[in-house]
Copies of this chain bind each other. A is one copy, B any other.
Amino acid sequence: MDLSSIEIFLAVASDRSVTKAAKAVGRVPSNVTTRIQQLEEDLNVSLFSRDGKKMTLTREGETFLAYANRLMALALEARQAVRPLAPSGTLRVGTMESTAASRLPAALTQFNQMWPDVSLHLTMGASRDLTRDVLSDALDCALIARPPKAMREEDSGFDAELKALEMEPVFVEDLLIVLPSGHPSIKSAADLRVGSLAALEPGCTYRRIAENWARKSSALPTSELGSYHAILASVATGNTAGVMPRSVLDLMHWPTPVQTHQLGPVETLLVYRKNDRPSAFSAFHEVLSATKGRDIRLATN
């Protein structure tokens, strides 16, 4: 029994899908299938029932899920416990709105429990700005969206800044165009029947991805809003299409099942300066990796 198998198991259990889980843990679906099968063979019990293309936990899978969470939490705790110098002081973390909303709560809670002596300073911002702030030492690290290759070539300044930093993928977001209810489903931006695209600031990678996609076939103005709640409200008026990752949309329990269009997966990176990892940063890094793809409800060892 290998902890990485358990991480994979947790991802599959929480997504109820091999494909999603594979993205979440940064692997390929065939690999996820294999590891789950190995785990099942090792435990000599079937963890998921595959009726058709649905993966649902069996009763044994449910009980194993509880243990899996405890095991991961305990492993993380062990890792932290042997840290020779307990982190303290302040850690300045930059993050996108979306990550702060959907991914960070669990990690921050856990981090606070483990290291109450560290005061975390959170700064929200667009990926472009956050990156600059890390470079200029206004932040210790930041969670940003990696622009797709095509966009990086266009904006060589941003690309150069990224290359000057260490980076590591921690999440994968499924970026969506959210359509007003009743809007017909679309294949490309040409099918849009709205007056504008609602997004956050100009430096926001998600916004720029959406704009790139939209301008291929239509000349749609972007209306800039301050929050994802504002964007969704704007979509509800009927004349706007919103941009946000699925994880954020899921968070909002929108009343009606909205029509969405996938712009594809976008990686969230943790970036930090090379050769500058204060103890508090390493601790944060570890907590983040451990929380990756894990169920929100935290295990209490």
- In the assembled complex, A124 has its CB within 8 A of some CB on chain B: no
Cβ-defined contact, B67 with A77, below 8 A: yes
- In the assembled complex, A68 has its CB within 8 A of some CB on chain B: yes
- In the assembled complex, A34 has its CB within 8 A of some CB on chain B: no
Chain B positions within 8 Å of A44 at CB level = 282
B-facing residues in A60-98 (Cβ within 8 Å): 60, 63-64, 67-68, 70-71, 74-75, 77-79, 81-84
Taken together as a complex, chains A and B put the C-alpha atoms of A1 and B74 apart, in Å, by 12
Cβ-defined contact, B60 with A82, below 8 A: yes
Taken together as a complex, chains A and B put the C-alpha atoms of A78 and B47 apart, in Å, by 12
B-facing residues in A160-219 (Cβ within 8 Å): none
Checking B3, B47, B70, B78 against A67 with a beta-carbon cut-off of 8 angstroms, the contacting residue is: B78
Cβ-defined contact, A60 with B74, below 8 A: no
Name the prevailing secondary structure of the A interface residues: helix
Cβ-defined contact, A82 with B1, below 8 A: no
Chain B positions within 8 Å of A82 at CB level = 43, 45, 47, 60, 63-64
From known contacts A2-B2, A3-B1, A3-B3, infer whether A74 and B83 are also in contact, taking CB-CB under 8 Å. Answer: no
| A76 nearest CB neighbor, chain B only | B1
Q: How many residues of A are counted as interface, with CB atoms below 8 angstroms from the partner's CB atoms? A: 25
Cβ-defined contact, B60 with A84, below 8 A: yes
Taken together as a complex, chains A and B put the C-alpha atoms of A74 and B69 apart, in Å, by 11
Chain B positions within 8 Å of A4 at CB level = 2
Checking B43, B47, B67 against A74 with a beta-carbon cut-off of 8 angstroms, the contacting residue is: B67
Taken together as a complex, chains A and B put the C-alpha atoms of A282 and B44 apart, in Å, by 11
B-facing residues in A105-154 (Cβ within 8 Å): none
CB distance from A36 to the nearest CB of B (A): 14
CB distance from A300 to the nearest CB of B (A): 12
Chain B positions within 8 Å of A3 at CB level = 1-3
Taken together as a complex, chains A and B put the C-alpha atoms of A288 and B43 apart, in Å, by 16
Chain B positions within 8 Å of A2 at CB level = 2-4
* Among A44, A47, A82: residue with most chain B CB under 10 A: A82
CB distance from A76 to the nearest CB of B (A): 10
Taken together as a complex, chains A and B put the C-alpha atoms of A209 and B75 apart, in Å, by 44
| A3 nearest CB neighbor, chain B only | B1
| A60 nearest CB neighbor, chain B only | B82
Cβ-defined contact, B67 with A71, below 8 A: no
| A78 nearest CB neighbor, chain B only | B67
From known contacts A2-B3, A3-B1, infer whether A78 and B84 are also in contact, taking CB-CB under 8 Å. Answer: no
Shortest Cβ-Cβ A-B pairs, 8 listed = A67-B78, A60-B82, A45-B82, A64-B82, A63-B81, A1-B3, A43-B82, A2-B2
6 A-B pairs besides A44-B282, A45-B82 with CB distance below 8 A are: A1-B3, A2-B4, A43-B82, A45-B83, A47-B82, A68-B78
